[in-house]
Amino acid sequence: MDLFEHQARELFERYGVLVPEAEVAETGSAAREAAVKLDADRRGVVVKAQVKTGGRGKAGGVKLASGAAAAEITARQILGMDIKGHTVHKVMLAQPVEVDQEYYVSFVLDRAQGQFIAIASAEGGMEIEEVAEARPEAVARVPVDPAEGVTAEKAAEIVEAAGLPAGAGPVLRKLWQILRSEDALLVEVNPLVRTVGGEIVALDGKVTLDDNARFRQARWGEPDEGADSGSLEALASAKGLNYVKLDGEVGVIGNGAGLVMSTLDVVAGCGAKPANFLDIGGGASAQVMADGLSVVLGDPSVKSILVNVFGGITACDAVADGIIRALGRIRLTKPLVVRLDGNNAVRGREILQANPHPLLEQRTTMDGAARRAAELATSAAAIA
| In a shared domain, residues 134 and 208 | yes
State how many domains the chain has.
3
- Whether residues 190 and 207 fall in one domain: yes
- Is the four-CA dihedral 139, 117, 220, 257 of positive or negative sign? positive
Give the CATH number, domain containing residue 88. Answer: 3.30.1490.20
Does residue 36 sit in the same domain as residue 132? no
Calculate mean pLDDT across residues 233-250: 86
CA dihedral 257, 258, 259, 261 (to 10 degrees): 80
pLDDT of residue 368: 97
Active site residue 361: no
Tell me which of 219, 240, 268 is where a domain ends.
219
Q: Is 103 a catalytic residue?
A: no
What is the reported pLDDT for 225? 45
> Out of 68-82, 239-253, 273-287, 309-323, which region has the weakest mean confidence (pLDDT)?
273-287
Query: Quick check: is 244 in a domain?
Result: yes
Instruction: Please indicate, yes or no, whether residues 210 and 242 belong to a single structural domain of this protein.
Output: no
Question: Which residue is catalytic, options 188, 233, 249, 361?
Answer: 188
The torsion region of residue 41 among left (phi > 0), alpha (psi -120 to 50) and beta comes to alpha
pLDDT at 223: 45
Min mean pLDDT across 57-66, 82-91, 342-351, 354-363 is at: 82-91
Which pLDDT does position 219 carry in this prediction? 55
Domain closes at, from 219, 247, 265:
219
What pLDDT shows up at residue 138? 84
Q: Are residues 287 and 341 in the same domain?
A: yes
371 and 251 together in one domain: yes
Residue 239 sits in the same domain as residue 370: yes
Q: Tell me, what CATH number does 283's domain have?
A: 3.40.50.261
Cα–Cα distance measured from residue 338 to residue 356, given in angstroms and rounded to the nearest whole number = 12
If asked whether residues 58 and 167 sit together in one domain, one would say no
Q: Which of 258-267, 286-295, 344-353 has the lowest mean pLDDT?
A: 286-295
Residue 366 lies in a domain: yes
Domain of residue 172, CATH code = 3.30.470.20
Looking at the fold, whether 244 and 153 belong to one and the same domain comes out as: no
Q: What is the CB neighbour count within 10 angstroms for residue 299?
A: 21
105 in a structural domain: yes
Question: Is the same domain home to 123 and 84?
Answer: no
3-state secondary structure of 181: helix
- Whether 191 and 315 map to the same domain: the answer is no
Work out the average pLDDT over 320-347: 92
Domain assignment present for 343: yes
pLDDT for the residue numbered 36: 97
Q: What pLDDT score does 217 carry?
A: 61
127 inside domain = yes
Note whether 127 and 50 are same-domain residues: no
Residue 34, pLDDT above cutoff 50: yes
Domain termination site, one of 35, 63, 94: 94
Model confidence band, residue 218 (pLDDT cutoffs 50, 70, 90):
low
Q: Which of 104, 123, 182, 233 is catalytic?
A: 104
Could you tell me if residue 278 is inside a domain? yes
Contact yes or no for 128/141 (Cβ under 8 A): no
- Residue 208 maps to a domain: yes
Instruction: Tell me what pLDDT residue 229 has.
Output: 52
Is residue 227 in some structural domain?
A: no
How far apart are alpha carbons 367 and 363 in whole angstroms? 9
The parent domain of residue 137 ranges over 99-219
- The set of residues, in sequence order, having a beta carbon less than 8 Å from that of 84 and lying 6+ positions away, is 51, 53, 54, 55, 59, 245, 247
Q: Residue 290: its pLDDT value, please?
A: 85
